[in-house]
Amino acid sequence: MAEVLVEEVENTSPSSPSEEPTPSPKANGFKGWLDRYFHISERGSTIARELLGGLVIFLAMFYILPLNSNMLSTDWANLGTVGISAGNMRQVGDVVEILIYGDVWAPAEAVRAGIFAATALSAGITTIFMGFYGKLPVGLASGLGLNSLIAYTVMLGMGYNFAQSMCIVMVDGILFLIISITPLRAWIVKYIPKSLKFAISAGIGFFICFIGFQNVGVIVDGPTLVGMGNLAYLPTTLGLIGIILVFAISVLPQKNKVMFWVTKFGVIIAILIMGIICGSLGSAGVEGFSGFYNDSYHIKELGNLGTVFGAAFLGFDAFTKPMSYALAFSLLFVDFFDTTGTLVGVESGAGMVDKDGRITVDDRPAMIVDAAGTVIGSVFGTTTVTSFVESTTGVAAGARTGLAAVTTGTLFLLSTLIYPALSMFSSSAVTGLALVYVGVCMFKNLESIEWNDWVTVVSSFLTVIMMCVAYSITDGIAVGFFSYTILTAVSGRFKKTDIPVAVCTVAFIAIYAIKVATHLV
């Protein structure tokens, strides 16, 4: 997703290189220390610009707080009540409960509050860590796409309990950390085909978009597997209006700086508008909407962090299931390349890439922070914490250093105080528009596929389509790798550089063979 925005940030930023401030004389005291530690003057920025850039990044990322907490709790569990779940949720009276581990259950609404706290705190801690250690203007939080894999494929589709799901995320983070501190990172980046990387990102976009339409009610179960929902149903109608609204805002003419930022924050503006509308309807007692406030969003509910915190350490029994290894690998693969692409996008927009395409700053610390963030997030009780492409909006606002990230992280920590206000944003008409918008943004990665190469076209297509029809990101990646390996071998084009993909293919085949042999399919 990051790669598609690099050019946009460079071309549409309201501050051209000629407008960059000249380095200020060395200051003493705290300001001087900030300047020296974060290389603010050295990178042609100012403290004020960094603080503003950090605020902009936070505003661009804020949507993940309600979206992630709903997706990992009430959204998938409510789908389970119609018979999709594999035994890790249940309905007791009017209360939907989620299996945490063993025979420990918790109400889905309590889990949602705990995940909100986990998302905000892990994002805040990791982003501040990025600022001080990675020293780049990058915000981190639970990634959209990776959380859908856990919610809809792992928990809803495969029946893993919450602790098992978080354990798989934690193992992914540990493996990513090992890769980031060894030469493996450079080797993997060099030899995995570029088109497959973009196809996986685009496929996740399709998958997220499909989930968004499903949540809104535009897509429902039907005699042909799926069909069009009841568009006259008010929540669905408003969901469609929200989707149209977010894209309408995003294409408004950028005649001045105000309109530039209006289009950049189109998803936030649309969420606010639809949140107010849905909150008003909910407060008026209209069915299908949540009002401006209800008791399940009381600030005290954040104490349910204890329900999800540390659950990852109780889920190692997940690895008695062969498919867990494929899931961990899929998370690792997606997380790795998503982070790499995001960092390249931010560094390019910030002028940290030379004319030959070489990165002029050391970004290994940033990769280490990203990997550590995944481990931190899983321990807190949320999915893969990863670098957000929305960080490029902060770069467009002038951010160049880690001080912007420290600002963003601090705002995430403070965001726990606004949990009661999120009731108005919990309606599917609000969350659905964000899912569809992000999915379309990731879809744009298809333009970077080598369309004149039939092998990459076929493997990329199969990657994308299988993610949707199999309702599984893991299956999409597996089919993409398998088809690429077979087609390169049959066409006589297999080279030493294709060995990493072949090794991954063999691993996937072994995992699926064990799954079939043990009657897990």
pLDDT of 466 over the 60 cut: yes
Q: What is the pLDDT of residues 176-189, one digit of tens each?
A: 899 888 877 767 76
Give the global pTM. Answer: 0.76
**DSSP one-letter string for 212-252:** HHHHHTSEEEETTEEEE--TTSHHHHHHHHHHHHHHHHHTS
Higher pLDDT among residues 149 and 491, named by residue: 491
- Residue 21: inside a domain, yes or no? no
Does residue 495 belong to any structural domain of this protein?
yes
The rounded distance, in Å, linking the Cα atoms of 170 and 247 is 35
Burial class (CB in 10 A: 0-12, 13-18, 19+), 190: exposed
Answer whether residue 129 is part of any domain: yes
The pLDDT mean for the chain works out to: 84
Strand, coil or helix: 495: coil
Task: Count up the domains in the chain and report the number.
Answer: 1
Residue pLDDT, tens place only, 26-41:
567 889 899 999 999 9
pLDDT in the model for residue 11: 46
Look-up: residue for tokens 């389509």?
Answer: 465
> Residues 99-124: what's their mean pLDDT?
94
What gap in Å lies between CA 508 and CA 303, rounded to an integer?
Answer: 40
Sign of CA dihedral 482, 487, 492, 495: negative
Q: Is 104 exposed, middle or buried (0-12, 13-18, 19+ CB in 10 A)?
A: middle
The rounded distance, in Å, linking the Cα atoms of 281 and 264 is 28
Kindly tell me if the per-residue pLDDT of 6 is higher than 80.
no
Task: Flag the least confident range among 68-82, 116-130, 394-408.
Answer: 68-82
Position 334 in a domain: yes
**pLDDT number for residue 227:** 86
In a domain, 22, yes or no: no
Q: Buried (b) or exposed (e) across 206-226, using 16+ Cβ within 10 A?
A: bbbbbbbbbbbbbbeeeeeee
Please check the confidence at residue 96 and state whether its pLDDT lies above 60.
yes
User: Is 289 a member of any domain?
Assistant: yes
Look up the domain containing 504 and give its range.
3-16+27-517
Query: Which of the four pLDDT bands, split at 50, 70 and 90, describes residue 15?
Result: very low
Question: For 226-237, what is the mean pLDDT?
Answer: 89
Range from 190-204, 220-234, 342-356, 366-380 that averages highest in pLDDT: 366-380
- Cα 2 to Cα 388: distance, rounded to the nearest angstrom: 8
Q: What is the pLDDT of residue 13?
A: 44
Do the beta carbons of residue 325 and residue 318 sit within 8 Å?
A: no
pLDDT > 90? residue 331: no
440, 250 Cβ separation under 8 angstroms = no
Q: What is the pLDDT of residue 234?
A: 92
For residue 248, is it within any domain? yes
Is 252 inside a domain boundary? yes
231 alpha carbon, distance to own chain's centre = 29
92: CB partners within 8 A, 6+ apart: none
